Amino acid sequence: MRPLILVASAVIALAAPAVAESPNDAPVAAAVAAPTRTPANVARDRYRHPAETLAFFGVKPGDTIVELWPGGGWYTEILAPLSTSGGGTLYAAAPWAKGLNRIKQWQGAKPDVYGAIKLAEFPATGAGPTVPDGSADVVLTFRNIHNWRFGGKDNVAEAFRQIYAMLKPGGVLGIEEHRLPEDMDSALEEKSGYMKRSSIIGFAEAAGFELAGESDINANAKDTHDYPGGVWTLPPSLAEGDKDRAKYLAIGESDRMTLKFVKPAH
């Protein structure tokens, strides 16, 4: 392994705070254990560590939570019962309206579980309702910033600007993203699905955020980050099909950084 990677890993490991127990741990654990979660999603907890990740971000059941680009709803299955348990509010925000189709289907099929989720457009273009400015306690996005990056740096900058606006002063932005080692070519961010820690911090700080903490909860030292087909070579996508399937299953899901930013209270 290249020396710079070792140095970066050491710095991150030293900076990563332990996830301490808090009064919010029990409701988060209950939401992770919700019987409404699909077995296939539960099987991926060993890679995604949802209880530890949400505890690190400080998510509370009474919060106004915004999940950006929920996609297939992996985290939505946890956030919906968590929010309901504490009388909080959960927004699912994505491109209007196709990006919210899965959530809409769930709302129709299981209104008791997902019916209270508010739907919003993100990034806002005027096509749909938005998360009101200054209303969110926490905004979460899981493995999505690379998608914004594919649309260009200006798109990422605008996304962070809109996130900053929707948060209350003192509010938290929690990011989990596929990690591109700092000594690899930055051009890979445009196609590989991996992002550099420095890039994400740069976009966040330019929007006004302050880095409040980082953790290796979702790190994976087995990930070599150098697949011609990008991060989708690894589970759960396994884009190569049966080619080297056992090898990629042994690696597991990607190496991910977990970053916590705060909107300054002043």
207-232 per-position pLDDT tens digit? 999 999 999 999 999 999 999 999 99
Grade residue 123 by pLDDT with cuts at 50, 70 and 90.
Answer: very high
Domain with 185, as residue range(s), is 3-262
CATH of the domain at 194: 3.40.50.150
**Residue pLDDT, tens place only, 34-66:** 999 999 999 999 999 999 999 999 999 999 999
Token readout for 38 is: 């699909």
Grade residue 94 by pLDDT with cuts at 50, 70 and 90.
Answer: very high
For the chain, strand residue ranges (E) read 64-68, 89-94, 118-121, 136-142, 167-180, 195-196, 210-215, 256-262
H or E element, residue 146:
helix 145-150
Q: Is the pLDDT of residue 1 over 90?
A: no
Sort strands 167-180 and 195-196 into parallel, antiparallel or unpaired: parallel
Query: What are the contacts of 159-165 at 24+ separation with CB within 8 A?
Result: 159/122, 159/123, 160/203, 160/204, 160/206, 160/207, 160/209, 161/207, 162/122, 162/123, 162/124, 163/68, 163/139, 163/207, 164/207, 164/208, 164/209, 164/263, 165/133, 165/134
Looking at per-residue pLDDT, the higher value among 111 and 16 belongs to 111
pLDDT computed for residue 208 by the predictor: 98
Mean pLDDT of the chain: 92
- The rounded percent of the chain whose pLDDT value lies above 70 is 91
pLDDT computed for residue 187 by the predictor: 96
Total domain count, the chain: 1
Mean per-residue pLDDT for 15-37?
A: 75
Cβ atoms of residues 232 and 248 within 8 Å: no
Q: Is the pLDDT of residue 5 over 80?
A: no
The partner residues of 90 in beta bridges, in order of sequence, read 65
pLDDT computed for residue 100 by the predictor: 97
Q: Is the pLDDT of residue 4 over 60?
A: no
